[in-house]
A and B are shown apart, each in its own frame.
Chain A
Amino acid sequence: MADVPTNAPIECPGTQSQQAGKVSACNGCANQQLCASGASLPPDPAIEIIKQRLQTVKHKLLILSGKGGVGKSSFTAHLARGLATNEDEDIAILDIDLCGPSIPRIMGVEGHQVFQSMSGWSPVFVEDNLSIMSIGFLLSGPADAVIWRGPKKNGLIKQFLRDVNWGELDYLLIDTPPGTSDEHISIAQYLKGAGVDGAIVITTPQTESQIFPPTTGGGRQMAIDMDVPFIGKIPLDPRIGKCCDEGISYFSEVPDSPATKAYKNIIEEIRKFCASKPANDASEVEN
């Protein structure tokens, strides 16, 4: 074994073994903690494959929020539809919320199927320049539950990144589940090689809202506190929820509402951000 240091204890499993730092021979070894932390493991070969696969994707954006139900998926869907109004650009959504995939419903493609070809999984197309991949397309029915622990979820996320044939894309929007756990750690790790342009953080309480009263100063204050740019806010409009439920485009239904204007401004900001592309930055949207 090439990865056994010359001064290692006898029976050292090797620094690149899955057992590194964990077997009885490691007890007392000066490097036990380092080995057990996984720092000595070779990088997952998938990271390099994912980098190759996503070379045709110009901009990759993550949509995040620690809290559920703040409108991550609805924002992602609107961002995608908004960007797709430019027919020269190709947009895709990757939905990695495996236990609660809402993107298929919001985009009006519930019940569609994913096809496999020589070049990988083909995403589902909503428009000529807007495609989607979600676990929702792989389930047998709307009542089907994905009861998976972490490792299985990581496996599917890896597959989504490695095996989906996106083709040439200008924007890949990645919609995530709430929290800071397996899905988030995995997506960050797998995209290490390919690189992410930035993350858009969604939050709720509006300062002027009567329905969800202001209690903390809202998203703008948080953006100032945490030193991230605040890129806009979207008012509560019952028609947004209705359009999401029916899977139709809010922009074409209600082209001149305040929310549509807010979305357009935010989309413009995001375009500018991606064009300037300072890597690994984050921005914030209040919904």
Chain B
Amino acid sequence: MAEEGAQKATGKIKSVVLILSGKGGVGKSTVASQIALELANGGNKVGILDVDLCGPSIPRVLGLEDKDVHQCADGWIPVYADKNEKLAVMSIGFLLRNSKDAVVWRGPKKNAMIKQFLSDVVWGDLDYLIIDTPPGTSDEHITVAENVRGLNLTGAVMVTTPQAVALGDVRREITFCKKVGIPIVGIVENMSGYTCPNCSECTNIFSKGGGEALAQLTQVPFLGCLPLDPKLTMSIEDGKSFTELYSESPTALAIREIIRPLITS
């Protein structure tokens, strides 16, 4: 049954994109949501699947914290982030009673949940399915890698911050992708420099350029830098689309640059 379900649910998805990073807190969920919003703004039908079961941030990042998932005869109906139903979202956050509930699960239970997410969600026709992952190279990642085989997998976008400590973990994640056969779309360097809103001086709080160097070292395309932008954080907190509000800001331009290879492929 489950196999059949997977076939049914995923046959309509044109492109699956994974958002990965070995390191936590580098902005995977932020990058995933911005990519999804920008793709949806461009007229595509987009889904976001949050497989970070112990720390689901997608509902918060998209301002959907108190929404519920409904069940219909075919499966779970995702939560829509907009009125036109261009952006569908599924996360374990919607299934918890309140935001303080902790999901203290070992691997097998997490794997079963992810399989259910991949097979039982009624996405409808999608142009893109963006899968946001937790940090690491463990149960969630292996399960996703196993279960996206046979789908139209475009590849993985690696998110990193410029510090050497983060780059070390992302390098391991690249090895993971190569081992399990997930193509890599490219590397995004997040939190790359901070422009002070008062004096316009740019400070490289977490240094700069590490992502590009890593891309060269591992021979993976480099997709671009996203600066630390307080406006982005604020628009996320307000649940507004950053790329619409500040469509000409350097950060919005950088986001558009990052999704280019996803559109053309």
Contacts and interface: CB of A to CB of B under 8 A. Distances in A.
The judgment on whether A and B are partners is yes
Given A143-B171, A184-B104, A99 B166 contact: no
Contact of B54 (A66, A142, A143, A144): A66
Contacts of B166: 69
Contact of A177 (B136, B176, B196, B206): B136
Given A68-B25, A73-B165, A149 B142 contact: yes
B59 interface: no
Interface in B187-218: 194, 196-197, 203-207, 218
A188 B55 CA distance: 19
B5 to A, nearest CB: 23
Nearest to B234: A213
A210 B231 CA distance: 10
Interface in A190-215: 204, 210-213, 215
Contacts of B194: 211
A150 B138 contact: yes
B165 A102 contact: yes
Contacts of A142: 168, 171-172
B142 A100 contact: no
A66 B175 CA distance: 25
B93 interface: no
A30 interface: no
Most central of A66, A69, A146, A241 by chain B CB within 10 Å: A69
A69 B230 contact: no
Most central of B53, B134, B161, B180 by chain A CB within 10 Å: B134
Interface string B138-172: 11011000000000000000000101111011011
Interface string A171-197: 000000111111011000000000000
A211 B163 CA distance: 17
- How big is the A interface, by class? 35 or more
A121 B131 CA distance: 40
A146 B25 contact: no
Contacts of A210: 196-197, 230
Nearest to B161: A69
A181 B105 contact: yes
A184 B138 CA distance: 14
B186 interface: no
B11 to A, nearest CB: 28
Interface string A149-184: 111010000000000000000000000011111101
Nearest to A177: B136
Interface string A232-256: 0000101001101110000000000
B247 interface: no
A106 interface: yes
Interface of B: 22-26, 53-55, 102-108, 110, 134-139, 141-142, 161, 163-166, 168-169, 171-176, 179-180, 194, 196-197, 203-207, 218, 228, 230, 233-234, 237
Given A100-B24, A211-B228, A215-B237, 5 more contacts: A149-B142, A180-B103, A182-B106, A182-B139, A241-B206
